[in-house]
Amino acid sequence: MVKISEKEPKKKAYDASSITVLEGLEPVRKRPGMYIGTTGPDGLHHLVSEIFDNARDEAMVGRCDDIEVALLPDGYVRVADNGNGIPVGIHPKTKVSALETIMTTLHAGGKFDNEAYKVSGGLHGVGASVVNALSEKTKVVVHQDGGMHMQEYKIGKPLAKVKKIGTSKEHGTIVLFKPDIEIFKEGVEFNLDKIITHLRQQAYLVKGVRVSVVDSRTNEKAFETDTIFLREQKLGVPSTTFYFEGGLKSLVAFHNKHQTPIHKNIFYVEREQDKVTVEVAFQYVDDITSRITAFANNTYNIEGGTHVTGFKTALTRSLNTYGRNANILKEKDENFTGDDVLEGITAVISVKLPEIQFEGQTKAKLGSVEAQGAVGTIFGEALGAFLEENPDDARAIINKVLLALKSRKAAKAAKDSVLRKGALEGMTLPGKLADCQTKSAEEGELFIVEGDSAGGSSKQGRDRRTQAILPLRGKILNVERARLDRMLASVEIRALIVALGTAIGDVFDLSKLRYHKIIIATDADVDGAHIRTLLLTLFYRHFRPVIDGGFIYIAQPPLYKITKGKAMAYAYSDKEKESVLKEFGIAANEVAVVSEGDEVESVEETAEAASAEATASQRKPTKVNIQRYKGLGEMNPSELWETTMNPARRVLKRVNVEDAEAADRIFDILMGTDVAARKSFIQSNAKLATVDL
């Protein structure tokens, strides 16, 4: 029998008193991730989207045609619109101003009343209150019915009642907020490009609405006005304005800016069925990658949803029907699959419906079942008519999809051949791979190194228990426009695929990834950068879940080895090199004339030399040696381990995708066939490059 010591505290009983009730906006601050997804940079920018969406919803019902987002000093954001303004009268249920109710109460707002907003992205009525709860300070100014009203808040709590602060001939709402650093511990620095990209997208979706972005982060005068739009104050700050009448057709044209269309006319339809408005635009390009962007009530659905399912089903069915009727698909030909019809398509799908269901508060995926049927019916009928009315476009599309079908079959045959050959020869792993001993993927690391020389050094210097080495010879195939069959013909790519263990294409399985750290280690020169870009293209286009899972890293080997007597240090940049030299006693004016690879004579003063009577004979010369590494192969195994492979002191950079659309465009420009676009990109960004001369 176990005896419980009298000194051991009794466990608290689980009863009614154990239940914690969070009131007001406390749940938001307690679990912010439930409302904005993350407290990192994405969550920070989500705050801007939540307030902007309120203004955009005003525009969607025709009460607003001008929206401005401004970045202000000290981390403040200002969102203004010329809508009707948030009501400031007393709410009959809460007995306080409707403005205060909306800003301080979860699930409160006009989005639950289909008469006020027939369609809205703000489904849950938590946007403004969540932003308020997660902000150190918030201020709302409402221009309405000839008056100007204001209320301020601190961490979601009102500092005073709504009060009238003046008269106004304008109408609209201004929301000024400063995210709380206690919540966003990674910082409250907003990315202007990210905000511009999102708002440009929204401007395409709401035709006839002007959307402006003002960067006033260095101008304190931006705080001094209660006028709705800052850009009218002529503060002399940068601003960007978007206004589009073409809607989704313009957005498709923008996405295809650096592509070669295979048919002239962009397909477009906008129609309503059973209170669901469907808007679709698409165009095929000479590429093998599909680009589908989906929105529900103008909210970007990064994970797609039912509207995308309806689109894909109707697209496959319609192209198969037309191909058979036009006798382009012969009796002996098999039907197009979903993968065939999506190859090379750029499509934007937008649905608007009154009762909308998302999977999660961040609205990444649409769950409304009625959207699938509406998109399938409207898009299917319109596409059938488009193909009949535009026979040249139709034939170009069908031929494009037919080529994809044939390529898919060829790729499958090549893949099966590779797998059969590997099985027959008993080669589950490539011979050039020096595998690690551990069978745990969580512990395993795969170093992809450039060339046999670096491969030899890294194999000798590694930790054999956890680190595997795969040397690549030369530059791998540019897979940006290469199909799977051609990729599998490459010895280097095939070796990498087998080493990863996930397979590729339709049989890709992330759970079979053999290493949870895949580290690209190339030389610090132009060739090394090119090889790194080719590898990132391969991972982005064919192993995207590996990037999204956070398994891809880039090693940062040192640029210099600096020794002075028995002292030695590594420097990973020119700035670090200067810092090390100063620590070693090299004067600032001597640093500028140090030649890489040279031995530099320095002078150290002894204790006696510090006195005023020191003589030249009392000074002791020493030498500093600076070795500039051009490649990993120049390092001996111990140096490579100490600087690049040792987990205790190495520097790794994790690869992630912050903006999928922007990343897609960059890969198109850098690795595609549009030479003019690539030249323009290089010229525009030349000043940002570090040139090794």
pLDDT by residue (tens digit) across 260-317? 899 999 999 999 998 999 999 999 999 888 999 999 988 888 889 999 999 999 999 9
Where does the pLDDT of residue 680 fall: very low under 50, low under 70, confident under 90, or very high at 90 and above?
Answer: low
Q: Identify whether 527 is a catalytic site residue.
A: yes
Beta strands 66-71; 267-273: pairing state: unpaired
∠ CA 38-42-43, nearest 5°, is 45
Q: 306 pairs with which residues across the strands?
A: none
Among 58, 450, 492, 639, the active-site one is 450
9-43 pLDDT, tens per residue?
444 444 444 333 344 677 888 888 888 888 999 89
Fold identical between 26-242 and 428-557+634-657?
no
Give the pLDDT of residue 421.
52
Q: Determine whether 274 is an active site residue.
A: no
For residue 28, give the nearest of 178, 170, 130, 162 by alpha carbon.
130
Catalytic, out of 525, 576, 634, 664: 525
The structure tokens 């690049």 sit at 644
Report domain extents, the chain: 26-242, 248-409, 428-557+634-657, 559-605+618-628, 661-693
Tokens 């020794």 -> residue: 563
- Rounded CA-CA distance 207/216 in Å is 27
Compute the average pLDDT of residues 643-672.
74
Q: Using the predicted structure, report yes or no on whether residue 114 has a pLDDT greater than 90.
A: no
Question: Tens digit of pLDDT for each residue in 470-500?
Answer: 998 888 888 877 777 788 788 888 889 889 9
**Three-class DSSP category at 14:** coil
Task: Spot the catalytic one: 339, 381, 443, 527.
Answer: 527
Pair 519, 652: CB distance under 8 Å: yes
248-409 fold? Ribosomal Protein S5; domain 2 (3.30.230)
Q: Is 3 exposed, middle or buried (0-12, 13-18, 19+ CB in 10 A)?
A: exposed
User: Which SS3 state, helix, strand or coil, does residue 300 take?
Assistant: strand
- Predicted local confidence at residue 20, as pLDDT: 37
Assess contact for 193 and 179: CB atoms under 8 A: no
pLDDT at 119 over 50: yes
At position 3, the amino acid (one-letter code) is K
Kindly name the residue from 57, 136, 480, 523 that is annotated as catalytic: 523
pTM of structure: 0.63
Establish whether 450 is a catalytic residue.
yes
- pLDDT band at residue 231 using 50, 70 and 90 as cut-offs: confident
Amino acid at 373: G
Q: For 134-163, what is each residue's pLDDT tens digit?
A: 999 999 999 999 999 999 999 999 999 999
Angstrom CA distances, 159 to 93, 152, 622, stand at 21, 6, 67
pLDDT band at 107 (very low <50, low <70, confident <90, very high): low
Model confidence band, residue 52 (pLDDT cutoffs 50, 70, 90): very high
Cα–Cα distances in angstroms (integers) from residue 216 to residues 60, 188, 447, 463, 601, in the given order? 27, 15, 45, 51, 50
CA distance 78 to 235: 15
What H or E segment, with its residue span, contains residue 78? strand 77-81
Average pLDDT, the chain: 82
Chain segment 570-629, per-residue pLDDT in tens: 888 888 888 888 888 775 444 433 444 444 444 444 344 344 444 444 444 557 888 888
- The whole-angstrom separation of Cα 107 and Cα 69 is 24
Query: Using H for helix, E for strand and C for coil, what is the string for 419-472?
Result: HHHHHHHCCCCCCCCECCCCCCCCCCEEEEEEHHHHHHHHHHHCCCCCEEEEEE
Q: What percent of the chain has pLDDT over 90?
A: 43
CATH 3.40.50.300 fits 428-557+634-657, yes or no: no
Is 548 a catalytic site residue?
A: no
CATH 3.30.565.10 for domain 26-242 = yes
Range of 227-241, 301-315, 643-657 with top mean pLDDT: 301-315
